[in-house]
């Protein structure tokens, strides 16, 4: 194939991947809590022009994640508008980028069929589904894969001048990963370091830490942290204590901290997330289960096929960290599906007829699209789009500020109603964090405010407001959520939900 044809084929494949990733990307509303929260912070950056300090609203800064994810979402919304398509565009692009990077890595690791690992990654259930969810994990996977690509190509070119450029690329990838999710973005690094020690010895391992690479990493990965810590005293302590130590070593964040939850959670995620390639993964795990603890297996592969060792380390070392950590969620292990795709690509036995494979993959892709579309039909109770439609059809004019009292906010309402979303508590006695109270909010005497409470708290909140001298009335409800506003400030629209008897 001529160079021109290769370029044309590459462009065609990339366009096809973009269509594959973007189709139906905006069919589903934002699901709380994560999708709404990340999108809300990005929208606030667009509104205020402040891209340095993430915030949920004017009163609540939000430093739980570095800003790169918010920047990407803001860019998508700036490009495609205030809609779900814009909010999910970065993940679609990151997914496509990861597939292409897997192909580039596979050209070195499985040169006899480099097309197979990217096909596997692109069609695995979890990576495809995760690209439709607004979280940092798909973007993180892209940067970690870029870092590993830099390492792999450095390993092949380390005796030539271009080797140092690839090493800098590796550290740039880790810097971007660190700016996306902090220390978890560095999890492939121990696998790289152990592999280089095994194969090349400590001298090769020291070469990984080039001055240009470390400077690149520091500039990309640390600059934002240092800038915000300099202007917010105590923030660095928060990063190290709350976002690193507590997440790893305690159950303070209530994310499956029990010791056995890692096995219960990540086992099924790996099994079902690799569909339709799960049987190959099971076969590979069975074949190596008894040999991983054998020195002979390690020595043989280090001599004959060292990339098998690297892929094993790349999968197992980060997985061990996730199992030990006290904070666990399914998407945390999404970056591990890259080494999984490369491992499965080595073990997969293809049908003798290529038409059979094409037909099966086409049928599976149709199923993936159907699954994506089904999400837009599923009556998810935390769908911000659905709640926004009810509010817009119930309350006139549309509120400029929506305040959730004693219940988790629907942060995604800011996308649909272009309003500010806040969270308050009805009593200071219930405070577990620096959250404003209902009384403090009322004293601000802002106009266009709609309060949202659970039905079982409705009477208490109304009585609290009236006891403070603020007459309020009920405007309607959506499921268990009740809309309350200061008297005469809003009109109920023609499609308002009637008040239920006994409320």
pLDDT for the residue 162 = 60
Q: What is the pLDDT of residues 347-357, one digit of tens each?
A: 888 877 778 88
Residues 80 and 183 grouped into a single domain = yes
Residues 280 and 329 grouped into a single domain = yes
Which residues does 236 contact at the CB level (< 8 Å), separation at least 6?
A: 225, 229
pLDDT for the residue 500 = 37
* Residue 52 resides in a domain: no
Residues 415 and 271 grouped into a single domain = no
* Residue 503 resides in a domain: no
pLDDT for the residue 490 = 79
- Number of structural domains found in the chain: 2
Residues 344 and 468 grouped into a single domain = no
Q: What is the pLDDT of residues 339-349, one digit of tens each?
A: 999 999 988 88
Distance CA 87, CA 96 (A): 16
* Residue 304 resides in a domain: yes
Q: What is the pLDDT of residues 174-220, one digit of tens each?
A: 999 999 999 999 999 999 999 999 998 999 899 999 999 999 999 99
- Calculate ∠ Cα 104-219-181, nearest 5°: 65
Is the pLDDT confidence value at 282 over 90? no
Mean pLDDT across the stretch 105-113? Answer: 94
Domain boundary among 325, 346, 374: 374
Asked if 441 contacts 432 with a C-beta cutoff of 8 angstroms, the reply is: no
Residues 293 and 147 grouped into a single domain = yes
Residue 125 structural domain: 3-30+63-374
* Residue 49 resides in a domain: no
Name the residue among 329, 367, 462 with its Cα closest to residue 406.
Answer: 462
Which residues does 427 contact at the CB level (< 8 Å), separation at least 6?
A: 437, 438, 464
Is the pLDDT confidence value at 89 over 90? yes
* Residue 50 resides in a domain: no
CA atoms within 13 A on the CB side of 150: 22
Residues 361 and 402 grouped into a single domain = no
* Residue 55 resides in a domain: no
Strands 395-396, 491-492: pairing kind: antiparallel
Residues 295 and 398 grouped into a single domain = no
Question: How many other C-beta atoms can be found within 10 angstroms of the C-beta atom of residue 401?
Answer: 18
Dig out the tokens for 377 from the structure. 């039909």
Mean pLDDT across the stretch 100-123? Answer: 96
* Residue 237 resides in a domain: yes
pTM given for the model: 0.93
Residues 91 and 239 grouped into a single domain = yes
Residues 410 and 350 grouped into a single domain = no
The rounded percent of the chain whose pLDDT value lies above 90 is: 69
Distance CA 304, CA 315 (A): 20
Backbone torsion region of residue 148, taken as left when φ is above 0, otherwise alpha when ψ lies between -120 and 50, otherwise beta: alpha
Distance CA 2, CA 498 (A): 69
pLDDT for the residue 250 = 78
Domain boundary among 349, 374, 399: 374
Residues 369 and 438 grouped into a single domain = no
Residues 341 and 421 grouped into a single domain = no
* Residue 497 resides in a domain: no
Distance CA 293, CA 372 (A): 41
Domain boundary among 374, 405, 432: 374
Residues 388 and 367 grouped into a single domain = no
Q: What is the pLDDT of residues 252-269, one digit of tens each?
A: 777 888 888 889 999 999
Q: Which is more confidently placed, 353 or 438?
A: 438
């Amino acid at each position: 194939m001529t160079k021109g044809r290769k370029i044309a084929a590459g462009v065609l494949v990339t366009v096809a991947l973009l269509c594959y990733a973007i189709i139906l990307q905006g069919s589903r509303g934002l699901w709380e809590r994560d999708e709404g929260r990340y999108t809300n912070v990005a929208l606030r950056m667009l509104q205020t022009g402040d891209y340095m300090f993430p915030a949920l609203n004017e009163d609540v800064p939000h430093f739980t994640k570095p800003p790169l994810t918010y920047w990407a979402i803001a860019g998508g919304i700036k490009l495609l508008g205030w809609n779900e398509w814009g909010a999910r565009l970065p993940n679609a692009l990151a997914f496509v980028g990861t597939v292409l990077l897997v192909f580039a890595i596979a050209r070195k690791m499985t040169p006899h069929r480099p097309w197979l690992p990217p096909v596997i990654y692109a069609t695995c259930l979890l990576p495809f589904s995760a690209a439709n969810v607004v979280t940092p994990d798909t973007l993180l996977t892209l940067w970690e894969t870029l870092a590993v690509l830099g390492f792999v190509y450095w390993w092949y070119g380390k005796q030539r001048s271009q080797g140092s450029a690839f090493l800098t690329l590796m550290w740039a990838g880790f810097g971007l990963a660190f700016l996306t999710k902090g220390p978890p973005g560095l999890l492939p690094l121990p696998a790289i370091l152990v592999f280089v020690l095994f194969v090349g010895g400590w001298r090769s391992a020291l070469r990984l830490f080039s001055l240009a690479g470390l400077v690149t990493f520091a500039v990309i990965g640390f600059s934002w942290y240092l800038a915000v810590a300099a202007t917010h005293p105590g923030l660095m302590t928060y990063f190290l204590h709350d976002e690193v130590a507590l997440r790893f070593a305690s159950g303070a964040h209530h994310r499956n901290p029990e010791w056995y939850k890692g096995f219960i959670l990540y086992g099924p995620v790996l099994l079902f997330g690799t569909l339709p390639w799960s049987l190959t993964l099971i076969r590979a795990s069975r074949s190596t289960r008894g040999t991983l603890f054998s020195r002979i297996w390690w020595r043989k592969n280090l001599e004959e096929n060292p990339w098998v060792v690297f892929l094993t380390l790349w999968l197992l070392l980060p997985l061990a960290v996730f199992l030990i950590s006290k904070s666990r969620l399914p998407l945390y292990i999404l970056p591990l599906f890259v080494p999984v795709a490369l491992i499965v690509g080595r073990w997969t036995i293809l049908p003798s007829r290529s038409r059979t494979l094409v037909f099966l993959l086409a049928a599976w892709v149709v199923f993936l699209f159907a699954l994506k579309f089904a999400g837009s039909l599923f009556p998810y109770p935390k769908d911000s789009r659905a709640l926004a439609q009810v509010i817009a059809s119930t309350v006139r004019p549309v509120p400029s500020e929506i305040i959730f009292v004693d219940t988790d906010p629907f942060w995604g309402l800011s996308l649909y109603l272009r309003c500010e979303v806040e969270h308050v508590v009805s009593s200071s006695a219930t405070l577990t964090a620096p959250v404003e109270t209902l009384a403090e909010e009322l004293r601000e005497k802002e106009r266009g405010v709609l309060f949202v409470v659970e039905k079982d708290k409705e009477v208490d909140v109304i009585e609290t407001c009236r006891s403070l001298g603020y007459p309020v009335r009920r405007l309607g409800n959506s499921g268990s959520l009740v809309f309350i506003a200061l008297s005469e400030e809003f009109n109920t629209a023609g499609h308002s939900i009637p008040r239920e008897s006994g409320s």
